[in-house]
């Protein structure tokens, strides 16, 4: 039942390209019509050859020329039909990939966080490719196959209706075998695509963390896990291939029986009374040709059906991804002028309902205040940042900016007022300049250079082969240099609010001191949220929030918190006394 719904969705996608479908159908009709006309001409040509020495060349020569012209026309028609079919397949695949990329942008981070990246990539790349192959085969062979079956039936009835009826009566055997086998293959192909997605995710994970694997000499365990996944994929692929490969020989056997029946009955009609003379040798040749053409599409269509089972299974996974629940409906109101006044009231949030994380959280931040957030791992520091940026929505309570609940304004108007530097650096494939101007694409070269200098990145950029025009690859820069570029990115934009989540974690101590100076200039007059593990970097903060188990357990300036000799003091002394 599910695959029928998938087929309906595929048809809706394809129906947008009616012009190419009509073009394909017209030239398929032309191809089939000419292909069916050629056996008639060949039959007449055979009848023009009476016996050795008695050939009617006057009748034969025009027939041979006509056959040649028809064959050339068939080739041209097939070429145009295949162009139309390729165009349909390309356009549908293009649309699916566009939808998939848009979907990734619209999905909540909770989906991205809870699904393996490799599986998502497998759906967008491998599954779409396999679906395209099945779709192309379907258009190329399905149209012509159906038309050939109908056309050959008409031509056989015209030549000899008794033999035609015999052929038609034997045909359902072939269809029954094909339907029985194809019903088995769908579930197997579906399982195969699922395991292939799992394997892709595993490979992606291992490539991205190869250094860790080698550092912990985990190669043997990794190979063992891959072998298990590969064995599982091989098992389902073998079953799917085995069942699908039964289709063609089974139907071909039945079709050969039909061909033999036509030859036997035709010989009877030629040689024996009361049918003697009712069929010529040329006519029998045409009938045999039609019988072959009639049965051939059944082989092709059953092959197409098998291929389509795999394609539909892939399409099912793609549609499953495209129909995932998106972000909550976007508000239409734009956020007005932002000065940096933030308020959190009775906020509660958890990633998993049964494991509460932040509960009854209250905080008021005034314009220009520098808020440091510290605490042990897993206490909710980064989660708080996710809520401020509305990467996740609160379960209870509210977060307000300039007195407006951030859920009542567009995410774009909220996020453009934040500048964010994370511990995990991300650079896109492009030039150094492309990566710096992500938040301000119309920036001048002078502005870009000034931002890079503020981030202490200019000197190493100028040492690159092409300076700011150097195209970055995975190994172009060290971790610290990548982080400096991310800092330059925020230095260029200078929004009213800044979030620094361990922004100097990959930078050496000497450079960190310079960066801290730059940050102090940047944060002056701007509301800033600083997540830090190194407590030396937050001494100048206006307010330090000490978090533990999702709650603020202490709040105040550095010296005040040390004087209290509480949780913050323990964290601080544990770091520096060591």
Q: What is the DSSP secondary-structure string of 499-544?
A: EEESTTTTS-HHHHHHHHHHHHHHHTTSEEEEE-SSGGGGTT-SEE
**pLDDT reported for residue 564:** 85
What letter would DSSP give residue 408?
A: G
Q: Which residues, other chains included, contact 285 with Cβ-Cβ below 8 Å and sequence gap of 6+?
A: 39, 42, 43, 46
What are the structural domains, with CATH classification, of the chain? 2-322 (1.20.1560.10), 342-577 (3.40.50.300)
The CB density around residue 344, as the number of other CB atoms within 10 Å, is 20
Mean pLDDT value of segment 327-350: 81
**Reported pTM:** 0.62
Residue 139 main-chain phi, psi, to 5 deg:
-65, -40
Residue 53 in this model has a pLDDT that exceeds 60: no
Helix 161-208 / helix 219-271 crossing angle, nearest 10 deg: 170
How do residues 169-223 score in pLDDT, each as one tens digit? Answer: 777 666 676 666 666 676 777 778 778 878 887 887 777 777 777 777 777 888 8
Residue 425 in this model has a pLDDT that exceeds 60: yes
Q: How many whole angstroms separate alpha carbon 411 and alpha carbon 118?
A: 28
CA distances from 181 to 186, 263, 316, 389 (A): 9, 29, 20, 53
Q: Indicate the average pLDDT of the chain.
A: 79
Residue 369 in this model has a pLDDT that exceeds 60: yes
How do residues 495-517 score in pLDDT, each as one tens digit? Answer: 888 888 876 666 677 767 777 77
What letter would DSSP give residue 137?
A: H
Question: Regarding predicted confidence, which is higher, 279 or 316?
Answer: 316
């Amino acid at each position: 039942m599910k695959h029928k719904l998938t087929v309906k969705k595929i048809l809706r996608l394809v129906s947008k390209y009616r012009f190419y479908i009509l073009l394909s159908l017209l030239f398929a009709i032309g191809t089939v019509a000419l292909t069916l006309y050629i056996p008639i001409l060949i039959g007449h040509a055979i009848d023009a050859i009476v016996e050795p020495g008695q050939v009617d060349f006057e009748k034969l020569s025009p027939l041979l020329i006509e056959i040649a012209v028809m064959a050339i026309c068939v080739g041209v028609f097939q070429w145009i039909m295949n162009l139309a079919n390729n165009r349909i397949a390309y356009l549908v695949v293009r649309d699916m990939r566009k939808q998939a990329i848009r979907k990734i942008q619209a999905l909540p981070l909770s989906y991205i966080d809870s699904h393996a990246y490799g599986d998502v990539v497998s759906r967008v790349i491998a599954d779409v490719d396999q679906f395209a192959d099945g779709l192309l085969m379907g258009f190329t062979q399905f149209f012509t196959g159906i038309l050939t079956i109908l056309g050959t039936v008409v031509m056989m009835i015209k030549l000899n209706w008794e033999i035609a009826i015999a052929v038609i009566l034997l045909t359902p055997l072939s269809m029954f075998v094909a339907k029985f086998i194809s019903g088995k293959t769908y579930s197997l192909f579906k399982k195969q695509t699922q395991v292939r997605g799992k394997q892709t995710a595993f490979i992606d994970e291992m490539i991205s963390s190869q250094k860790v694997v080698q550092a912990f000499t985990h190669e043997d365990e990794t190979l063992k896990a891959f072998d298990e996944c590969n064995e599982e994929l091989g098992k389902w692929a073998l079953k799917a291939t085995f069942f699908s490969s039964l289709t063609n020989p089974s139907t071909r056997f039945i079709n050969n029986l039909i061909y033999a029946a036509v030859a036997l009955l035709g010989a009877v009609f030629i040689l024996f009374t009361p049918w003697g003379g009712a069929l010529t040798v040329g006519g029998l040749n045409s009938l045999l040709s039609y019988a072959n053409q009639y049965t051939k599409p059944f082989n092709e269509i059953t092959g197409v059906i098998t291929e389509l089972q795999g394609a539909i299974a892939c399409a099912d996974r793609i549609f499953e991804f495209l129909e995932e629940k998106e972000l909550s409906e976007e508000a239409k109101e734009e956020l007005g002028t932002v000065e940096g006044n933030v308020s959190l009231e009775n906020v509660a949030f958890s990633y998993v309902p049964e494991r509460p994380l932040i509960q009854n959280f209250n905080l008021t931040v005034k314009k220009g205040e520098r808020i440091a957030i510290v605490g042990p791992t897993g206490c909710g520091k980064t989660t708080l940042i996710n809520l401020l940026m509305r990467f996740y929505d609160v379960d209870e309570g509210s977060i307000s900016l300039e007195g407006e609940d951030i859920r009542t304004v567009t995410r774009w108007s909220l996020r453009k007022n934040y500048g964010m530097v994370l511990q995990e650096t991300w650079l896109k494939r492009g030039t150094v300049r492309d990566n710096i101007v992500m938040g301000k694409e119309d920036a001048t070269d002078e502005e870009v250079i000034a931002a890079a200098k503020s981030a202490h990145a200019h000197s190493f950029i100028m040492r690159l082969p092409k300076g700011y025009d150097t195209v970055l690859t995975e190994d172009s820069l060290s971790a610290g240099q990548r982080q400096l570029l991310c800092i330059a990115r925020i230095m260029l934009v200078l929004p009213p609010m800044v979030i620094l989540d361990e922004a100097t974690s990959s930078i050496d101590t000497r450079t960190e001191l310079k960066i801290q100076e730059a940050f102090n200039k940047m944060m002056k007059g701007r509301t800033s949220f600083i997540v830090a593990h190194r407590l030396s970097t937050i001494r100048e903060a206006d307010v330090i929030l000490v978090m533990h188990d999702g709650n603020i357990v202490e709040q105040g300036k550095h010296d005040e918190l040390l004087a209290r000799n509480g949780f913050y003091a323990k964290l601080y002394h544990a770091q520096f006394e060591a």
